[in-house]
Amino acid sequence: MKALYVHAAQDLRLEECDDTAPGPGQVRVRMIRGGICGSDLHYFNHGGFGTVRLREPMILGHEVAGVIDALGVGVDGLSEGDMVAVSPSRPCGSCGECLRGLPNQCLHMRFYGSAMPFPHIQGAFRQTLVADAAQCVPALGLSAAEAAMAEPLSVALHAVRRGGEMLGRQVLVTGCGPIGVLVILAVRRAGAARIIATDIAENGLGFARAAGADVTLNTATDPDALAPYTKDKGSLDLLFECSGAEAALVGGIAALRPRGTVVQLGLSGDMRLPMMQITAKELSFCGSFRFHEEFAVAIALMEKGLIDVKPLITHSFPLPDYNAAFATASDRSQAMKVQLDFSQC
């Protein structure tokens, strides 16, 4: 079978990969859709991000959905022909972090398409994937394109849980890529009273407005757009920083009122923090990294029609057109979420 490998920056190759049968407790999934994530783009455009660098060829991809075409021994609750979203989160379940209830911080995590460990964890952009049955969540009534959005929606849901109480809160979201827009959908569902969104690109701000942001601000054309929210000691309750840009973080912190909360999602390397403001305003600062149990919740919210991800899926390309897909995904002026279509190989 074919799989999409990244060898180095700007070097993608569709190459042969072993096709294996599922073992006990496993299923084989025939891939239908796979979303291109920001981390995939970092590997493609830069060969990694921060200190994480490619050291060997790696199959990309972790936002995937498909149809089960084979069952291993002992699998219950799943059947051949089921449409499933496949969680890329595979904690060991036995390390210290797993045992204290933090599977997303697993010391031996096998997260699809990650160059953090070496050897790298191979990803899911392949025609068939053998996965643990526990990773597969049936996506009843959802298209494969929607089901493949479970992973980024799970990231947003985990961040909202980290942020705490949302009901009646004034929320700022910086960075309106797919994760930022999904955070807007999630905090609106959780009861936020007002959502302000910032970005440096009008395309993303348009999606933010459609997702329910009350105010959208272009900080490229108006660098002082957040100034009205910084009066006195600030006026907003929560900041979800989704861009990974230091300027966005610093500007957002200035807009928070005393004892506000920063939730940092964006990953782009280390950033300098305005510690005097954080200390004097008694701000809470927390990171948000990946997810685990939120994956099934994401599927349920989409199945019930409580969160609609379809408007975010702007492009799909047949797998052999991977270069065009990655070029489009890298162009924020035209794309939000770009998916690969594995049914067109």
Q: Report the top-level CATH class of 2-149+309-341.
A: alpha beta
Mind listing the pLDDT tens digit for each residue in 290-324?
A: 999 999 999 999 999 999 999 999 999 999 999 99
Q: With the CA atoms of 234, 237, 242 and 246 taken in that order, what torsion angle do they form, in degrees rounded to the nearest 10?
A: 30
Q: Which CATH superfamily is domain 154-287 in?
A: NAD(P)-binding Rossmann-like Domain (3.40.50.720)
pLDDT bin (cut points 50, 70, 90) of residue 230 is: very high
How far is residue 334's CA from residue 286's CA, in Å, rounded to a whole number? 32
Does 269 score more than 80 pLDDT?
Answer: no
Q: Residue 270: its pLDDT value, please?
A: 82
The first and second tokens of residue 12, run together, are 């993608």
Tokens, residue 210: 């459609």
Is beta strand 52-53 parallel, antiparallel or unpaired with respect to 48-49?
Answer: antiparallel
Residue 268: its pLDDT value, please? 78
pLDDT classification of 166: cutoffs 50, 70, 90: very high
Pair 188, 209: CB distance under 8 Å:
no
Domain range list for the chain: 2-149+309-341, 154-287
Q: Which residue has the tokens 């272009």?
A: 218
Question: What's the pLDDT score for residue 232?
Answer: 94
| Residue 36 DSSP label | P
Q: How far apart are the C-alpha atoms of 322 and 327, rounded to whole Å?
A: 8
Tokens 């506000």 belong to which residue? 260
* CA proximity to 326, closest of 335, 145, 179: 335
Instruction: Answer positive or negative: Cα dihedral of 157, 220, 42, 239.
Output: negative
Taking Cα atoms as reference points, which of 256, 217, 222 lies closest to residue 240? 256
Q: How many CB atoms lie within 10 A of CB 283?
A: 19
Q: pLDDT (tens digit, 9 = 90+) per residue, 14-40?
A: 999 988 999 999 999 999 999 999 999
Q: What is the pLDDT of residues 78-108, one digit of tens each?
A: 999 999 999 999 999 999 999 999 999 999 9
For residues 142 and 270, which has the higher predicted lDDT (pLDDT)? Answer: 142
Report the pLDDT value the prediction gives residue 49, as an integer from 0 to 100.
Answer: 85
Q: Residue 4 above 90 pLDDT?
A: yes
The Cα–Cα gap between 112 and 318 comes to 21
